[in-house]
Structure 1
Amino acid sequence: MADGTERQPRAYIGSFTSAGGRGITTAALDPDTGALTALHHTEDAVTNPSFLALSPGGGVLYAVSETDQGAAAAFSLDGPARTGPDGPVPLGQTVSVAGAGPTHLAVAGRRLYTANYTSGSVTALPLRADGSLGTRALTHQHHGRGPVAERQEGPHAHAVVPDPSGQWLLCTDLGTDSVWIYDLRAPEAGLRLHREVPLRAGTGPRHLAFLADSREGGDAARADVIHVVNELESTVTTCRWHPGQGELEPLGETFLLPPERAAVENHPSAPALSPDGRFAWVANRGDDSVTVLDLTSGELPELVTTVPCGGHWPRDLAAHPTGRWLYAANERSGDVSWFEVDQGTGTPALTGSLTAPAASCVVFA
């Protein structure tokens, strides 16, 4: 900073402005305690910035606009476009994604991808040199349905996640009970579908997280692991991912609640992985808890315990890059809770919370 002092790290919190959220909240993160302190709110800069993602260099923040019209927006976090000390600054115009209800987005290569829940489609938007969004949207429409009539009457793309190799984009579709795999190796070809991989009918896959294999060797020699969170059942589906071929192999499922709470109406939302790959955490809406999974006990994760989420309806989880803290965006109680993580067991202990109306996600600069 200009005065020679070191600025605290930043966290960015998305929200639903239609439910009272204050847009994108910028918060200072205490590196010693993990505590968040609100500094700035974008308010009306974009409607319903429910999910956020950073550019690879961290200088640009992207947000969906989760509305029936469907859009995405870019914000500068540094450089000449910056006019204030704390808040992101709009970078270019909000751009249509040519799809309805975008719920998730990710950067891969020179494109921004969105999963459009309401329309059941995936969109690719070009990124300009300054990180702003181009307007030529490429879309791919999903087709199909599942057995849960009230939630699976058609496709509902929910999350888009590039694989660690950068060659593939995986999209979980809650409505079709499948993972759609897109080939990114020839970006000039547009959104090129590689294959659709079915999961068990009625599970409703919502999000996924990669656990990359650390072994030496080329892509063909690797077999990474993917954990898919299912919204319509309290389970995680573990899959083996073969990046050399773009193949996904389901291995089995793990229940997220102990047997005595199996009858609780519950809708798991988001996974987070510890940086060392030993633990996974999953947020449970309904049970209002965080499930701790041990990833080292065998081929499938092992349920360790569940702890209260510190609020109501945890829509998103985020693990701090150091692995010391875990954050839950509790949508209906309007707060972000943070936990100190026991490094031996992976169990989070509630430490504090920040008021954040209609909170929906947390990312770290």
Structure 2
Amino acid sequence: MNEVAATFFDVFVGSYTSPLPHAPHADGQGISRLRLDTSTGQLSAPEVVAHSVQPSFVALHPDGQTLYAVSELPQGELEAYRVQPDGTLSRLGSQPTQGAFPAHVGAEPLGRYVLCVNYGSGVSVLAFPLDEDGQMGPCVAAAQHHGHGPDALRQAGPHPHSVTASPDGRHVYVADLGTDEIVRYDLAPERLLHRLDQVRLPPGSGPRHLAFDAAGEWAFVTLELSAGVALLRRDPETGELQLLGTWPTQPPTYSGDTAPADVLVSPDGTFVYVSNRGHDSVAVFRLDRSAQTLTPVQYVSAQGQTPRGAALSPGGAFLLVANQDSSSLTVFRRHPEEGTLESCGVLACPTPTCVCAAPR
């Protein structure tokens, strides 16, 4: 299955700890840790390892030794935790996000900075320096988005929803649901978060999350408001993105509401996985590089309500889905040749919103 040589993986899960308008049901207690057995695809029971408030998105440092979490609050915070040898977390500290309701965090691949975005008012995107141990310093660069989209309810102003660094660490791309743009910034220290350009997505599409293939040549973006996924190609020299097309993430026979959330790419860059809230599924696509298109392969039930965050295990043998409104995690075994998913089971986990995995 091309899995790395480890029997177990640590799985960290962020959650909602109190209700919000888009999450009226919330029974999480913070950040939980589970263990994934790669021989069976089974998860251990969740254990709360950090009593954080509203840690709706979590991400690991490239070395896997530090975990970062945004607290989705009116006065947002970014927290850092050291991952201990036994998988527990020790808090290193926090920094204010200078805005409301931060939605996403990610450490760029060279380990120099951790970046986050505020979905609500305040500064749009921020960069915090990291020392060699993954500890954060105060914000050293920030940028502000402006504009709006045609959806008066959801796009009255900018709503940055994710921040994703290119695999080479040269640029960072911010998907803004409110302005229908992917904004590209410089990651060079002397030009940190200098705005370079933007690519426009279809009006009213609402870009949410972005993922690159390992080579950084292809980018995939979930379109929350138009229920689609976009395919873009990245120029290897300049880093500019070119929009190639969009595809619906639900089957043609489905007429209900769908709001795509997360997007993942297989290690070989051939298959794309999208979590579909509303349709409550994971959509699987195959990338045709020569035709520059996506082809649907499978729509598999998430076996829970409101599948939001998702993650591939290191090596890509398993896919995990956080079902927010049914308080459960689903584990799928991934067939690498066909890209299809097969359920390994469902485990109770309070109001999960985000999941990430790292080898022990």
Output the TM-score relative to the length of structure 2.
0.90
Change (3 A) 1:61 1:203: same
User: What SS does the corresponding residue of 1:332 show, helix, strand or coil?
Assistant: helix
CA contact (8 A) 2:311 2:320 kept: yes
The whole-number CA distance in structure 2 between the counterparts of 1:9 and 1:212 is 21
RMSD (Å), alpha carbons: 1.8
Residues 243-283 of structure 1, C-alpha deviation per residue, up to 9 Å, x if partnerless? 3212111011112112111x311100011111122211101
**Which consecutive residues of structure 2, in runs of 5 or more, have no partner in the other structure?**
1-5, 19-25
The whole-number CA distance in structure 2 between the counterparts of 1:7 and 1:87 is 18
Task: Report what 2:35 is aligned to.
Answer: 28
CA contact (8 A) 1:107 1:113 kept: yes
Change (3 A) 1:349 1:97: same
- Residue type at the aligned position of 1:205: P
Change (3 A) 1:153 1:230: same
The whole-number CA distance in structure 2 between the counterparts of 1:157 and 1:253 is 20
Worse-superposed segment, 68-77 or 189-198: 189-198
The whole-number CA distance in structure 1 between the counterparts of 2:213 and 2:62 is 19
Change (3 A) 1:131 1:96: same
Task: Report what 2:210 is aligned to.
Answer: 208
The whole-number CA distance in structure 1 between the counterparts of 2:143 and 2:278 is 33
Instruction: Tell me the CA shift for residue 212 of structure 1.
Output: 4.1
The whole-number CA distance in structure 1 between the counterparts of 2:333 and 2:199 is 37
Task: Report what 1:100 is aligned to.
Answer: 100
CA contact (8 A) 1:97 1:137 kept: no
User: What SS does the corresponding residue of 2:288 show, helix, strand or coil?
Assistant: coil
Instruction: Tell me the CA shift for residue 296 of structure 1.
Output: 3.4
Task: Report what 1:146 is aligned to.
Answer: 149
Residues 119-160 of structure 1, C-alpha deviation per residue, up to 9 Å, x if partnerless? 270011122343222123532110010001100000000010
Q: Which has the higher contact order (CA 8 A, sep 6+)?
A: 2
Larger radius of gyration: 1
Instruction: Tell me the CA shift for residue 43 of structure 1.
Output: 4.9
Task: Report what 1:88 is aligned to.
Answer: 89
CA contact (8 A) 1:255 1:303 kept: no
- Residue type at the aligned position of 1:303: P
The whole-number CA distance in structure 2 between the counterparts of 1:205 and 1:39 is 31
CA contact (8 A) 1:121 1:142 kept: yes
Task: Report what 2:12 is aligned to.
Answer: 12
Worse-superposed segment, 127-136 or 60-69: 127-136
Task: Report what 1:330 is aligned to.
Answer: 323
Task: Kindly report which structure 2 residues correspond to 1:279-358, keeping only aligned pairs within 5 A, or say none.
Answer: 279-296=271-288, 298-358=291-351
The whole-number CA distance in structure 1 between the counterparts of 2:76 and 2:314 is 30
Residues 62-103 of structure 1, C-alpha deviation per residue, up to 9 Å, x if partnerless? 11111110111111113xxx7xx3411111x22101121111
Task: Report what 1:219 is aligned to.
Answer: none
Residues 229-251 of structure 1, C-alpha deviation per residue, up to 9 Å, x if partnerless? 10001211111111321211101
The whole-number CA distance in structure 1 between the counterparts of 2:73 and 2:140 is 17
**Which consecutive residues of structure 1, in runs of 5 or more, have no partner in the other structure?**
1-5, 214-222
Worse-superposed segment, 306-315 or 12-21: 12-21
Task: Report what 1:121 is aligned to.
Answer: 124
Instruction: Tell me the CA shift for residue 24 of structure 1.
Output: 0.9
Instruction: Tell me the CA shift for residue 28 of structure 1.
Output: 1.2
Residues 14-68 of structure 1, C-alpha deviation per residue, up to 9 Å, x if partnerless? 1111121121111111020121113531352x21111111111111111111111
1:234 to 2:227 alignment? yes
Task: Report what 1:173 is aligned to.
Answer: 176
The whole-number CA distance in structure 1 between the counterparts of 2:87 and 2:262 is 28
The whole-number CA distance in structure 2 between the counterparts of 1:170 and 1:21 is 30
Worse-superposed segment, 345-354 or 173-182: 345-354
Instruction: Tell me the CA shift for residue 305 of structure 1.
Output: 2.1
Instruction: Tell me the CA shift for residue 226 of structure 1.
Output: 0.7
Change (3 A) 1:337 1:39: closer
Task: Report what 1:216 is aligned to.
Answer: none
The whole-number CA distance in structure 2 between the counterparts of 1:126 and 1:257 is 40
Output the TM-score relative to the length of structure 1.
0.89
The whole-number CA distance in structure 2 between the counterparts of 1:86 and 1:165 is 29
Residues 197-249 of structure 1, C-alpha deviation per residue, up to 9 Å, x if partnerless? 21111100001111244xxxxxxxxx811111100012111111113212111
- Residue type at the aligned position of 1:307: V
Change (3 A) 1:206 1:39: closer
